[in-house]
Structures are given as structure tokens and as C-alpha cells.
Chains A and B, each alone.
Chain A
Amino acid sequence: MNRLDATRQLVRALTDEAVIASLGHPAYDLFAAGDRPENFYTWGSMGVASSIGLGLALARPDRRVLVLDGDGSLLMNLGSLATIASCRPPNLTLLVWDNRQYGTTGGQATATAHATDLAAVARGAGLASTATVGSADELDRAMDATRRAPGPHVIVARVDESAPTTKPPLDCVFLKQRFMAAIGAPESATRGGPA
């Protein structure tokens, strides 16, 4: 299972989930698999995607939130797992594309190539619902399970690196405003109103 194919499979099953994508290949593949206004693409702040997802899930308990993170990114912000475990947002799923390398920067090995099991780290942080998947069927089943039981959920998807695809729009403010309007929280400054 490579990341692009897995992302395409994942996107086909989406309904109204808000999706936060970590910068680089996870964001590029999400865009390539199917752009939608409920996708929020980060262009920087490596490591912080899971934190953005947590904040969004807390602000919007009515909406399911899916974070597409990378192993390198999550390794930058392992404390986020402890915070998610403490806050326990039932509507949050953190999906980690674990290709065991920094794919966007040239394929340098990450700690998961050597010793680290991110699902075990998540369990140690206090997250009870974790799954490690390595095939398309397992990914489908794990995602189905997140729709049937309250979260937070962590899925570590072991994937092969795939070729870079296309890039999402670069205009950060456009991406933000499109996303916020799509999830029903449009910025007031974009709406106009009485003088």
C-alpha cells in the first residue's frame, strides 16, 4: 500500500469530515486524491497538524475531524498525544502515514525505521483506541471503526513512499477562509453586514 493510493481510498469514503493535512506529501496527496473545501492544507508549522486537529475538534464537537499526519511530523510533537489523551475529544481521528522516512525532504530515515512504534507511543500517552494497518482492507476496517465508536482514535498506516503529486493552492488566507466557510464557521470579516 503506498500513501497516494491509500489517500485516494480514504478520500472516497469521506462524507463531511474536516480534514487537516500536515505539510508536504500528506497535503499534496490529499489534494491530488480529491480537493474539497473541508480540507485544510498546512504549508508550514511541521509537527503541529495534530494540535490543529485537537483544537478544531474541541471547538466543533458536532463534526468529525480527521488529521493526516506523517511519522516525521508526529515525532516532532509527541506531546500532542498526551494532550489529546487528556482532552479526549470523541470526534478526533489522528491518522499517521508511517513511511519510516522524511519523504518530503529526500527520504532520510525517521525513528520509526529504527526503533519507534508510534501506536505504542500513543497507547503509552493514554490513547486507548489505536490501530496499526498495513493493507487497504485493514485501513478500511480501521476507518470504519472510528465511525462506530467515540474517539479519540489513532491509526498508524504503514505505507510505502509514493511519487510527489500536485500541490494545493498556495494562498494561505484563501485556504483558511474556504475551510471555515465550508464547516459553517465563516470569518465574520468575509460576510459584510450593517454599517
Chain B
Amino acid sequence: MTDTRTLQRHDPAAGAATPGWALGVSAGIQATGSRHVVYVPDNPLSHVLRTIAARYPDIATILATREEEAFGIAAGLYLGGGRPTVLLQSSGLGNSLNALSTLLVAYQIPVLAIISMRGDAAEWNWAQVPMGRLVRPALDALGIQHVAIEHHDHAEEAEAAVVAVGTLAFGARVPAACLLPRRVTMPVAATREARG
């Protein structure tokens, strides 16, 4: 099992204060009863991974090489009685559509998906925009419900959103998604810095 604490040495955001949204998302994962987080890394999601490592040592984190694999691992965790969470960047949703449709949706296998957005408002990289536009229509076409958090530093809001999505996923046994918009996770100052 991968230990996210070893990531801190390489994490460009390691020195920064953890924003409220990331504290809330992490607390929501814990509160929804998920003890397995499968992930493909992303800059904003690094805050969540560090928070889980620091505050919730009973949550196991599993690094996947691509997002479709992550959803496959999550399906297996569910079959074994787990309540899996998948952390991914929205660009990786495109990598995942076959597993999402023919495995998770077809077999009614629940997963709490936390999707860090690219290509939405506050994006600076045009190459990320086409897939960003596709995220909500793709989820809608699959019947995967989604909610988005709205505030950068409002832990309670983010926790409530994740718990609500987790309740839907593991109660109704469907994959469901919590979206992390870029303007929330990467407000303008951070975006300017990332652009360099």
C-alpha cells in the first residue's frame, strides 16, 4: 500500500497552508466511511492527499497509473466490501469512460469520485479546455450525478458536499461525483503563480 506521507518531499504545495476546501473534502471522505482512496495525482488534489496522510491514517491510499485503472481497482474494493473513493483530474475522466460505463454503471458499483477540474473558468491552458467542456455532458450522459463545491476556504461546505455525494453513491449504489472547480481550488493568485 502506498504511503502518501512520502510524497511530501516532492510536493510543490507542501509548504503552503492547506485550504479549507481540501480539509473539508478530506473530512468528507472520512465521514462517508470510505477507507480506500485510489488516486492519480493532480496539483490541487495534493492538498487532499497530504491532509489524509496527516489526519486520517486509517484511510489507505493507492496510486494508480491512469484513471481507468483507478476505477477498476475501486470496483474490486467495492466487491470486497469497501467504500472506495477515486481522486482524479478531469482530464482523466476521458481515460475512464469505458470502465465507468461498462463496469461501474452496468454493474451498479458505487464509487465516490472527486474530480479536480481542468479547462473550466480560471484555466490558462487551452489544451485542457475541450475535455473540460466535456466533463459535465459526459457525466450526464452516463447518468452519473455530480455536485460542485463553490468556496475556496469553506471546509464545512466541502465536507457536506462530499458526504452528500457519498451518501448517494453508497446508499443508492451508483457512481457519483463531487467536482472541484478550478476557480475554487486555484484562485487567481495561485493560477498566476502556476502559469509562471
Known: A44-B98, A54-B76, A189-B173. A59 touches B81 (CB 8 A): yes
CB of B101 within 8 A of CB of A44, answer yes
CB of A52 within 8 A of CB of B173, answer no
Asked if A176 lies at the interface with its beta carbon under 8 angstroms from chain B, I say yes
Interface string of B99-111 (1 = CB under 8 A from A): 1011100111100
Known: A79-B64, A83-B65, A86-B63. A55 touches B102 (CB 8 A): no
CB of B66 within 8 A of CB of A79, answer yes
Chain A, Cβ-Cβ closest to B74: A55
Q: Within the assembled complex, what's the spacing in Å between the Cα atoms of A49 and B173? A: 21
Known: A79-B66, A82-B65, A176-B108. A45 touches B76 (CB 8 A): no
Q: Within the assembled complex, what's the spacing in Å between the Cα atoms of A58 and B37? A: 12
CB of A176 within 8 A of CB of B107, answer yes
Known: A52-B72, A176-B108, A185-B79. A58 touches B36 (CB 8 A): yes
Q: Which residues of A contact B74 (CB under 8 A)?
A: 55
Measured as residues with beta carbon below 8 angstroms from the partner, the interface class of chain A is: 35 or more
CB of A180 within 8 A of CB of B72, answer no
Asked if B73 lies at the interface with its beta carbon under 8 angstroms from chain A, I say yes
Known: A44-B106, A176-B109. A52 touches B76 (CB 8 A): yes
Asked if B194 lies at the interface with its beta carbon under 8 angstroms from chain A, I say no
Q: Within the assembled complex, what's the spacing in Å between the Cα atoms of A56 and B81? A: 9
Interface string of A100-133 (1 = CB under 8 A from B): 0000000000000000000000000000000000
Known: A20-B76, A56-B77, A172-B107. A86 touches B69 (CB 8 A): no
A-B pairs with the 6 shortest C-beta distances? A44-B102, A55-B76, A59-B80, A51-B72, A79-B65, A185-B81
